[in-house]
Chain A
Amino acid sequence: MTEVLIPSDATIVEIAQEVWSSILEDAGELTSVFGFDEKHETAVLAFIEITGNWHGSVRISCSVQAAKHIAAGMFGKSEIDVEDDELSDAVGEFTNIIGGNIKALFPSPCNLSLPGVAGIGSFADNLPPGLEDKISEVQVVEVHLEWEGEPLSIGLWENK
C-alpha cells in the first residue's frame, strides 16, 4: 500500500458543510464545535467502508433530531412526518455522499461500500452494532459539528 495522507479536520468539516447545505434546502448552519455536552448520549449511527489504497471506514453519528432534520429536508416533508425507514434511508444516503467525497481525497483506486445504518446507539460507543468486525480499526480523525444545538460527528477509522 502506498503511503497516504490522512485528510485534515478542516477538510472533513468543509465536506460536511458542503453536503449539508446543498442537499437540504434552507438547511440552517452546520458549525464546527469542540465537543458535545452530556445531554446527547444517544445517536443514530451510520458507516460506510472504503477499501483500496486506503482501508477503513467513515462513521457518522448524530442526534435523532439532527437525523430527522436530514430526512425531512431530503424527503421534502415536515420532521414530525418522517417515518423510521425514511430516517435510515436519508442518513444512509447522507453518509454515502460524505463517504464518497472523503474517498476522493485518497489516491485512487479506492472503493466505497454501500452505507450501513446501525440504528440507535450511544455516542460513547466506539463500536456500534454492525461494526463488531471492525474491532481492529483505529480512529484517525474526529470532527464535531452542530446544527441548532443538535450534534453530528464524523470519524475516520483506519484499518491498519
Chain B
Amino acid sequence: MIALVVDDSRSMRSILARILTQLGAQVSQAGDGKSALALLEVGPLPDIALVDWHMPIMDGLQFVSAVRRRPEWRPMAIMMVSTESDQHHIVQALAAGANEYIMKPFTKDAVQEKLELLGIAVMNIQTKGNQGES
C-alpha cells in the first residue's frame, strides 16, 4: 500500500505516518494541498490520501476537488482527517469526492478499520497499543 498524508501539522503527519507504516504502508507527506498535488504529478499514484481540512495555501476540500477533476487519479481513495465533525462538513467532503472521513482524535484501530472499509489491504506489522482483545 502507498499512502500520502497531507496535513500542515508535522506532529499530526508523524502520527499518521507511524500508524500507516505499522499497517504496512509506504508513506509520503505534504504540508498543504498544493504540494500534495505536486507529489501526485510526479507519481506513483498512492492507494490512499489522508487529508486534513484546514491548511494554509490550499485546503483539504480544494485538494479533493482538484484531484477529482483528474480522471487518471480516480483510483486513489481519499480520506479526510479533520477536527471538523459537523455533519454538513462530512457531507460536503463526500460530495467533493472524498471516500471516507475520520474525526480527530482517532486511534490506530480506527484508521485500520477505515482502510478495511475502503477495501485497502492492511498488514499489521507491529501491534503496539491496545490492539486485539483480552
Contact = CB atoms under 8 A, between A and B. Distances in A.
User: In the complex, is A directly touching B at CB under 8 Å?
Assistant: yes
Contacts of B9: 89, 92-93, 96
A90 B85 contact: no
Nearest to A25: B129
A74 B11 contact: yes
B10 A100 contact: no
Main secondary structure of the interface of A (DSSP, over half): helix
Contacts of B129: 25-26
Main secondary structure of the interface of B (DSSP, over half): loop
Contacts of B105: 18-19, 22-23, 97, 101
Interface stretch (B12-20, B35-43, B61-69): B12-20
Interface in A82-122: 86, 89-90, 92-93, 96-97, 99-101, 103-104, 108-109, 112, 114
A76 B11 CA distance: 9
Interface size class of A (residues with CB under 8 A): 20 to 34
A97 B10 CA distance: 14
Contacts of A147: none
B54 A71 contact: no
Contacts of B54: 112, 114
A90 to B, nearest CB: 4
Interface of A: 18-19, 22-23, 25-26, 71, 74-76, 86, 89-90, 92-93, 96-97, 99-101, 103-104, 108-109, 112, 114
